[in-house]
Amino acid sequence: MRVTIFGAGGRTGRLLVSRALDRGDAVTAVLRRPDGLDPRASVRVVPDFADTDAVRAAIDESDAVLSAIGPRSRKEAPVAAPATRLLLAAEPRRIVVISAAPVAPPPPDDSVISRRIALPLIGRILRPVYDDLRAMEEELAASPAEWTAFRPPMLTNRAATGRYRTRIGGSVPRGFTVSRADLADGMLNSLGRPETVRQPVGIAG
């Protein structure tokens, strides 16, 4: 496939680039400033996503857009919703983004500790982050794009396992962590899963 990856310089973005290349995909990596990336990728520098023509040129002829853009802390929010709004203005046909498990209520088959203690506490502490991601998902739902929003729990830097779980339409019960590498793998695999279109997808180890 031909894929364009935004946020390609971040920890998850770099994994998306390398794993897509390993799959044999043609990758355009979009960065706000020049940065060292896998030399197999085609790099485009787009300093301002409000430049719709530059964004549209970056996704031109791509089969899908993947975005690893999101707030790294509550102080950075909102990041995901404004960036996604600008990406949608360039009219991508297929877009896959990263949200988070606490954006939605916990699944009813989750543990009591998760439903009543852990997730409500995390939701309060990181409220600006999850408000940003909820707004991003609302932007996607209101658009005509074929979108998928992955909702991982806490991300780790462990190696890929290939043994992650996914749940279309909601979060994975009793899923506390997932590696960035497995998240990248799940996002890329969703491009061949039509049942994930216009759906949130929970993912966890």
Number of structural domains, the chain? 1
Q: What pLDDT score was predicted for residue 11?
A: 94
- Per residue in 108-145, pLDDT (tens digit) is 777 666 765 666 667 666 778 999 999 999 999 999 99
26, containing H or E segment: strand 26-31
In single-letter form, the type of residue at position 89 comes to: A
Q: What pLDDT score was predicted for residue 71?
A: 80
Alpha carbons 96 and 150: distance in angstroms, whole number: 8
- Per residue in 61-82, pLDDT (tens digit) is 999 999 999 987 667 779 999 9
201, containing H or E segment: strand 199-204
Alpha carbons 113 and 161: distance in angstroms, whole number: 26
Q: What is the DSSP string of 140-165?
A: HHTSSSEEEEEE-SEEE-PPP-S--E
More confident position, 109 or 176:
176
CATH number of the structural domain spanning residue 70: 3.40.50.720
Look over the chain and give the mean of its residue pLDDT values, rounded to a whole number. 91
Q: What pLDDT score was predicted for residue 107?
A: 75
Whether residue 78 is preceded by a cis peptide bond, meaning omega within 30 degrees of 0, is yes
Task: Name the pTM for this structure.
Answer: 0.91
CA 110 vs CA 19, 58, 116, 188: distances in Å: 31, 40, 10, 26
Domain with 156 in it: 2-204
